[in-house]
Amino acid sequence: MCSSHELTGKEYQPIATSSSYMERIKGMRFFDPHVHMTSRTTDDYQAMADAGVVAIIEPAFWLGQPRTGVDTFRDYFNSLIGWERFRSSQFGIKHYCTIGLNSKEANNERLAEAVMEILPSFVYKEGVVGVGEIGFDDQTAAEEKYYRAQLELAKEAGLPVQIHTPHRDKKKGTQRSMDIALEHGLAPHMVIVDHNNEETVKEVLDRGFWAAFTIYPFTKMGNERMVEIVKQYGSERIMVNSAADWGISDPLAVPKTAALMHESGIDLNDIHLVTFRNAITAFAQSGQMDEADFDTVKDVDQSLKFNGSTVLRGGQQPRIDKQSNIIR
């Protein structure tokens, strides 16, 4: 989830990277383990595919305004395991998701109770690789109550947990999130602590958790700072994501960060780990992820439909890859 920030036109500039960054990442494959594609366009999907993104994870999150009923959550969760997965496949990108009650809307306890009742019917679905993103926003008692309940759900389902750390008082919120996860008996290797920064990374790694970093303009981490993090801490249990959503964000943040790391002299193996391999290792613990599927989805056939719907509009011609084994 993003935080608000008043921007002037002068402030709004793309993430720093050289104009030739695509040359620096040629042949690389990327996994963005936190991106809200429901909020993005088909152009974004195409740009991500062109930049080497082969797989993504879309966490359930706050949509920008409060939802008013449990059916809105039900429809949203269904879209993550249905239409959005299909839409992603139409651009050759494998789509997974994590399902959970986000921390912001956990403060509506009447609605939160109803959402908790339907979560078990979604977390066991195909392609759901974790419970998330959950955790703290304002660090209220209600947020803690439903965070704890969802940790128990993750334990029962044998799924990794994707933690949203708060924008305000981040260090305290991150420590508290880890403490509570351990209280509930979750092994650190099953917990991905997201939205880290220089203030939190050392403790997260020292305690054995996965440390995820969001490259998000102005409000979280810039990719120049991310380069310095990897130089200092290495690549073990570190992963990079974009968390691109409906705010000012960049769905190409992962490949752009890889390019900047390459330009800065970071070893290619370390780049591979933090922008691809580590995310697979962490979320494959769900039993729902097979790297071979990344190649299968490359056989794009945009003549296909999902419940009668297509990414194409009137007059547009479908892309059908030549290597596809489908004959029509």
User: What are the backbone angles phi and psi of residue 128, rounded to the nearest 5°?
Assistant: -90, 115
Q: What is the pLDDT of residues 207-224, one digit of tens each?
A: 999 999 999 877 778 999
Mean pLDDT over residues 83-102, rounded? 97
Asked if pLDDT for residue 241 goes beyond 60, the answer is: yes
The structure's pTM equals: 0.91
Residue 103 exposure: Cα atoms within 13 Å on the Cβ side:
24
Nearest to 190 by CA among 250, 236, 129: 129
CB 175 within 8 A of CB 203: yes
**Distance of alpha carbon 30 from alpha carbon 12, whole angstroms:** 26
Mean pLDDT over residues 293-320, rounded? 84
CB 197 within 8 A of CB 233: no
Asked if pLDDT for residue 172 goes beyond 90, the answer is: yes
- What are the C-alpha distances in Å from 272 to residues 50, 91, 99, 210, 280? 17, 22, 27, 16, 11
Which range of 28-32, 213-217, 244-248 scores highest in mean pLDDT? It is 28-32
- What are the C-alpha distances in Å from 165 to residues 139, 214, 248? 10, 11, 19
Asked if pLDDT for residue 260 goes beyond 60, the answer is: yes
Asked if pLDDT for residue 311 goes beyond 70, the answer is: yes
Alpha-helical runs (H) found in the chain: 21-24, 42-50, 70-81, 83-89, 109-118, 120-123, 141-157, 170-183, 201-206, 223-233, 253-263, 268-272, 278-283, 292-296
Mean pLDDT over residues 11-25, rounded? 60
Confidence of residue 308 (pLDDT cuts 50, 70, 90): confident
Confidence of residue 15 (pLDDT cuts 50, 70, 90): very low
Angle at 239 between CA 258 and CA 119, to 5 degrees: 135
Q: What is the pLDDT of residue 44?
A: 96
Mean pLDDT computed over every residue of the chain? 91
**Distance of alpha carbon 57 from alpha carbon 159, whole angstroms:** 14
DSSP H or E segment with residue 131? strand 128-135
Q: What is the pLDDT of residue 298?
A: 76
Nearest to 166 by CA among 115, 214, 206, 117: 214
Mean pLDDT over residues 111-123, rounded? 98
Q: What share of residues in the chain are helix, strand, coil (percent, to 5)?
A: 40, 15, 45
- For residue 139, give the amino acid letter: Q
Q: What is the pLDDT of residue 323?
A: 55
More confident residue, 314 or 123: 123
**Distance of alpha carbon 89 from alpha carbon 45, whole angstroms:** 9
Confidence of residue 12 (pLDDT cuts 50, 70, 90): very low
Q: Which residues contact 139 (CB under 8 A, 6 or more apart)?
A: 166, 169, 172, 173, 176
Nearest to 6 by CA among 218, 246, 166: 218
Q: What is the pLDDT of residue 312?
A: 87
Q: Which residues contact 194 (CB under 8 A, 6 or more apart)?
A: 34, 133, 162, 163, 164, 165, 212, 214, 241, 243
CB 127 within 8 A of CB 81: yes
Q: What is the pLDDT of residue 218?
A: 74
More confident residue, 15 or 135: 135
Q: How many of the other CB atoms lie within 10 Å of CB of 143?
A: 24
H, E, C per residue of 260-293:
HHHHCCCCHHHHHHHHHHHHHHHHHHHCCCCCHH
Q: Go through the domains of the chain in sequence order and give each one's CATH number.
A: 29-290 (3.20.20.140)
